[in-house]
């Protein structure tokens, strides 16, 4: 039995989690940006996947709203996620059945703690 991604087992038509979701134009210099995770309904056979939530995960000590100290990309994680949302919506109209609407920016241990212990992120 081979390994499969979460949400893909038993679904012949689609899945809810899409890691490393590529977004045209959302990169630091206009190329492809890559959200760490997209949440929505993704078809295995249809073109034009549209997420509802785009997630950006950072290291434990990262300042989420401060500029990053990287060559060629100083956007804060929050700005990065907002750019992902903006570019993922390009060419869509407000009456689309699914629009990229939500962004989640978090430190990796916060998400893990909530998942592993059941403690809400703001309670830890």
Which one is predicted more confidently, 6 or 91?
Answer: 91
What does the mean pLDDT of the chain come to? Answer: 78
Residue-wise pLDDT tens digits, 54-73: 999 988 888 888 887 777 77
Query: What is the rounded average pLDDT of the residues 98-114?
Result: 75
- Stated pTM of the model: 0.72
> Which is nearest to 27 in space by CA: 72, 91, 68?
72
> Which is nearest to 105 in space by CA: 71, 54, 69, 50?
54
Query: What is the rounded average pLDDT of the residues 104-120?
Result: 61
Gap between the terminal Cα atoms of the chain:
38
Question: Residue 86 contacts by C-beta under 8 Å, 6 or more apart in sequence?
Answer: 26
Specify the pLDDT at position 3: 59
């Amino acid at each position: 039995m081979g390994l499969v991604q979460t949400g893909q087992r038993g679904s012949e038509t689609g899945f809810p989690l899409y890691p490393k979701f590529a977004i045209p134009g959302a990169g630091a210099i206009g190329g492809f940006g890559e959200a760490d995770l997209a949440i929505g309904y993704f078809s295995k056979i249809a073109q034009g996947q549209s997420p509802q939530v785009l997630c950006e995960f950072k290291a434990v000590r990262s300042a989420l709203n401060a500029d990053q100290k990287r060559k060629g990309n100083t956007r804060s994680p929050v700005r990065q996620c907002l750019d992902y949302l903006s570019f993922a919506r390009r060419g869509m109209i407000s009456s689309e059945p699914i629009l990229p609407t939500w962004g989640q920016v978090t430190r990796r241990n916060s998400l893990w703690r909530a998942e592993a212990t059941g403690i809400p992120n703001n309670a830890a």
